[in-house]
Structure 1
Amino acid sequence: MTVHPLPRPGGLTLAQASAEFLDRFREQPLTRRAYAQTLTVLADAAVGGTAATVAVAFTPGAAATAMARWEGAAPATWNKHLAALRSFAAYCARRQALEEDPTRLLERRKEPRRGDKAVPAARLEELFTDPAVGLREKVLWRMLYETAARAEEILTLDVGDLDAAMRRARVRSKGGAIEYVHWATPTARILPRLLAGRTTGPVYLSDRRSPAAGARARALADVDPTTGRGRLSYPRAEYLFKQASQRHDPHGQGWTLHQLRHSALTYLAAEGRSAPELQAKSRHAHLATLGKYVRLGEETSAWVTAEHDPYNRRAPRR
């Protein structure tokens, strides 16, 4: 357990508090990255900048300005960033750097309880085999779907994390634990083409070389030592998936990377997999959290309707 001293006279600065807060999650890179995104926006909205004390910088106005960044986002996205701000505020209060919660005037938004996020399997296959899609994206999307893993878990993979013989990869889960995800034959067939003999560095690389110095320089762990290219970022991967999937979405909106995980678990549930089997695949800590993933939706509805169509020639005669 990390014990921080009480702030010195003059108060804890926002920069110091943010760094210490994020340091608590150094063994949980996915959580750390999510919190860092929120705190970066807060830093831009802070009164007096990050050099000001928390009490001066982190005000209700600054919190509202920061959250305005996600004003048009989905309720789940809004609630995620609001929860991050509140967690940071609670930390600052424990450090005696804040007396009141700056987010107290902000409210969580109601999230819709239903909604079929699974992408029809036929459309997924069209997307996976689209000749206009590059090899990197095909491998990434296939692996995400077949492993039912979180996008950031797969994007943070290094070549050394792969076990091609067992068709599995070692990932650091949302809670920081080391776990394994498994893929199937389609991924196994095209993964070697992506690696092209590489034995080190990130599995998924950006299109450009990473700057060696300056504000955009990356950590050495996120750079391929052979090509100098950096790790593919989540925002870029999400953007590319959205753009490519718009061509296959009849509504033209496109899909999200998270929908690949959702689709995989939904179809496994439709095939009759038990709750413990789904939990083993998804690696959720609690069975109750599987509910939103395994609710059978539009694909199952279409199948049931077709099976009971009175003009279905394959229907058993009565």
Structure 2
Amino acid sequence: MDSYLRHVAIERGLSTNTVSAYRRDLAIYSRWLGAERLTGLAEVTSRHISEYVRYLGSREESPLTPASIARILSTVRGFHRFLLEEGVVETDVAHESKPPKLGTRLPKAISIEQVTRLLAATDGDEVANLRDKALLELLYATGARVSEVVNLNVDDVLDPEVVRLTGKGDKQRIVPVGSYARTAIDTFLVRGRPLLSARGPATPALFLGLRGKRLSRQNAWLIIRAAAERAGLEGHVSPHTLRHSFATHLLEGGADVRVVQELLGHSSVATTQIYTLVTADTLRDMYTTAHPRARVARPAPLVGPPAVVEPPAVVEPPAVVEPVDG
């Protein structure tokens, strides 16, 4: 397992976070193999892999969701493929294993008005406010992952209009930065970062914690959660919420899906196309609400055969009574 982790880290160039996730997945797999009293990897069969998948979904301590099972099984399949390539085993027993079917999970985005409220919740002249404003504005302006933003260095802010992001597999991309985000970053660099930098060791990091060190992903999550609470936003708001909102709002504004793919750093356009489902749902809801012929018509009441209307009776005029001579 250590050899496999070195392989994915060095030869495949996967990120530190991805390698850590692989290590956790293999640790769970290793414990299960030990509980099955298998003495070597050559003893593992396809039946064991199927039983392992069932175990993940039904274990008493914390059964996993189909998405988590699919991710762990992907790690296990890659591991057994590596064992075959290295000659450790003679067959790839995990090759035929199928992950559980996943339902279509649409990204959760918030409205433009809610984004505005979230960003306004970081207003202020304190050092932390200046940093938080720049952090949130940049996340929404670029659609970057939180790991990409906290790993930014000052030199990655190339000019007033673009920033260089390093994504999964150390792939770099250049993303434009809007005027609001650029203003917030400039203000932070001039008035906020020097004060934070003086509190800790020298570092090229763009975003710093209150002790002068590079801001962690965990702290970035806490910053966004606190801003969401101040803004009165209900539900779970995370750094990925801003990424989803960035993509959704671009597509709603008419951006091409392949442009959004490049901005998000997706390797496949199929990943980006899930956002088109969000905008299609929004358009359908708006159409149904606004168009007079789109609403579901109420069924007309059942009507029986027309009643037979009798013609009105002819009323004779009253007789004229002559006065009687008396």
What TM-score, normalized by structure 2, do the two folds share? 0.64
Stretch deviating more after TM superposition (57-66 or 185-194): 57-66
2:260 is equivalent to residue 257 of structure 1: no
Displacement of 1:188 in angstroms is 1.1
Aligned partner of 1:24 in structure 2 is 11
Q: Which residue of 2 aligns with 1:284?
A: 266
The Cα of 1:194 is off from its aligned counterpart by 3.3
Matched AA of 2:148: E
Residue 248 of structure 2 aligns with an amino acid whose one-letter code is T
Match of 2:185 among 188, 191, 197: 191
Which residue identity does 1:25 align to in structure 2? Answer: R
Unpaired runs of 5+ in structure 2? 294-326
Kept in 2, the 8 Å contact 1:161–1:170? The answer is yes
Deviations 1:155-214 (A, max 9, x none): 221122112x33222122335433211211121122134332469522233445xxxxxx
Measured in 2, the distance between the counterparts of 1:175 and 1:305 equals 43
What is the alpha-carbon distance in structure 2 between the residues aligned to residue 274 and residue 301 of structure 1? 19
Q: 1:123 to 1:84 in 2, by over 3 A?
A: same
Counterpart Cα distance in 2 of 1:140 and 1:239 = 12
Tell me whether 108-117 or 236-245 shows the greater mean CA deviation.
236-245
2:135 aligns with one of 125, 140, 165: 140
Matched, 1:232 2:216: yes
Matched residue of 1:253: which SS? coil
- Secondary structure of the 1:46 match is helix
Q: CA RMSD in A?
A: 4.1
1:220 alignment counterpart? none
1:61-80 equivalence runs, <5 A: 71-73=63-65, 75-80=66-71
Following superposition, the deviation at residue 147 of structure 1 comes to 0.8
In structure 2, relative to structure 1, the CA distance for the partners of 1:297 and 1:248 (3 Å cut) is farther
1:15 aligns with 2:9: no
SS at match of 1:189: helix
Query: Is the contact between residue 149 and residue 282 of structure 1 (CA under 8 Å) also seen in structure 2?
Result: yes
SS in 2 for 1:170: strand
1:172 maps onto 2:154 in alignment: no
Larger radius of gyration: 2
* Structure 1 position 246, deviation (Å): 5.7
Counterpart among 241, 248, 252 of residue 224 in structure 2: 241
Q: Are residues 1:158 and 2:153 paired? A: yes
- State how far apart, in whole Å, the 2-side matches of 1:160 and 1:57 are: 52
Q: 1:270 aligns with which of 227, 252, 255?
A: 252
Q: How many pairs are equivalent? A: 269
Cα shift readout 1:242-266 (whole Å, capped 9, x = no counterpart): 565366576x431332232222121
Amino acid in structure 1 at the alignment position of 2:41: A
Q: Distance in 1 between matches of 2:94 and 2:107?
A: 32
Normalized per residue, which structure has more helix? 2
Percentage of matched positions with identical amino acids: 20
Aligned to 1:201: 204
